[in-house]
Amino acid sequence: MEQFTIGIDVGGTKTAYGLLDGEKRIVRRLSHPSDSRCPPERFFDRIAAGIDELLAAGHIEKGSLRGVGIGMPSFILFEEGRIVKTSNLPLIRDFPARAYLREKLAGLRVILDNDAHTAAVAELRRGAGRGFENLLYCPVSTGIATGIIINGKIFRGRYGWAGESGHMIVTPDDGIECGCGNRGCLMSWCSGSMIIKHIKKWIEAGESSSITEFAGAQELNCNHLAMAYNAGDALARRAIAQMVTFLGIWTYNLYVTLNINCFVFGGGLLKLFHELTLNGKPGSLLDAMKEVFDRYNKNTMPVYFKEAELGDDFGIIGAAELLF
């Protein structure tokens, strides 16, 4: 009998479902907004209902389902399937999500994992990491993290949150406080949302920048940063230089720690850099980071910086791959 799988990608704003057939093709989809005001019980009731809807639409019995994989922007105690906390969904914390869902779904197999882990598995098996035994999947967006693949398997660490490299401390007690509760972690200097906070701080301190004109009445965002940069704005250039420096150092630190030579990057900052004009052509975050990396790296063994290959479906695919 054909065995189906469901992969669910829970994001801060949207929850996307895919039903995959025995050949691992996505044959049905469903999505709904992620309600950040929902307590965890109601949040996972909605997911259980989504699973039932998807099965009903495909006329599939629970018995022919291999299981459900869920990727979330959360710290997850992997073995227990317990969520410790979740970025962008502050109410989804301290919750035994797997046990709760299994009860709702009559004992169906459910695996939950961090979304950087599921994306790493997806890129390893189906994307830019094919053929590599070891790789680092690095989302660079509003948040920064790493999915660590060692010998073809995701490395989760003792409790399940290996790879939270964005929160490594680089400037102790200096800088803007991050959601992790510390000042001076790496992503507080260079993530998409944090760089905007730096720019606002500089402007509040009296520095002038055309970025405020580009923003006009809108809330300042990374598009305005790109426009100001391309117009030659000094403050925008400083912001981009700060991001590149910290992101380059981050990749170097990962490389000297793990000696894994395949980096796969995904996320919104790649797009931001494509909008920048550097030396007359579209910018590349990968090239910019590699330049910093090469400044510190003192040997010539090959190191690959690759762009993620799977489009918007990587979250669904990686979540479903947890079952294999």
Comparison of 178 and 319: residue with beta carbon closer to Zn ion:
178
- Residue 135 carries which DSSP code? E
8 Å CB contact between 53 and 108: no
Q: How far is the CB of 114 from Zn ion (least distance, A)?
A: 15
Q: Which two three-digit tokens encode residue 22?
A: 């025995």
**Closest C-alpha among 209, 208, 240 to residue 222:** 240
Comparison of 257 and 259: residue with beta carbon closer to Zn ion:
257
Strands (E), 44-152: 65-72, 74-77, 82-86, 110-114, 135-139, 147-150
Can residue 180 be called a binding residue for Zn ion (CB under 5 A)? yes
Q: Which two three-digit tokens encode residue 148?
A: 């660590």
Give dist(CA 50, CA 45) in Å, integer: 9
Give the range of 40-48, 176-184, 259-267, 281-289 binding Zn ion by CB under 5 A: 176-184
Q: Which two three-digit tokens encode residue 19?
A: 């039903």
Q: How far is the CB of 179 from Zn ion (least distance, A)?
A: 6
Comparison of 51 and 89: residue with beta carbon closer to Zn ion:
89
Can residue 178 be called a binding residue for Zn ion (CB under 5 A)? yes
Q: Which two three-digit tokens encode residue 176?
A: 């803007």
Single out the residue of 82, 98, 156, 167 in contact with Zn ion (rule: CB under 5 A). 167
Q: How many positions of this chain bind Zn ion (CB under 5 A)? A: 4
8 Å CB contact between 44 and 15: no
User: What are the φ/ψ torsions at residue 263 (nearest 5 degrees)?
Assistant: -105, 130
Comparison of 8 and 178: residue with beta carbon closer to Zn ion:
178
Comparison of 10 and 194: residue with beta carbon closer to Zn ion:
194
Give the range of 54-62, 121-129, 181-189, 242-250 binding Zn ion by CB under 5 A: 181-189
Q: How far is the CB of 296 from Zn ion (least distance, A)?
A: 22
Can residue 185 be called a binding residue for Zn ion (CB under 5 A)? yes
Q: Which residues bind Zn ion (CB under 5 A)?
A: 167, 178, 180, 185
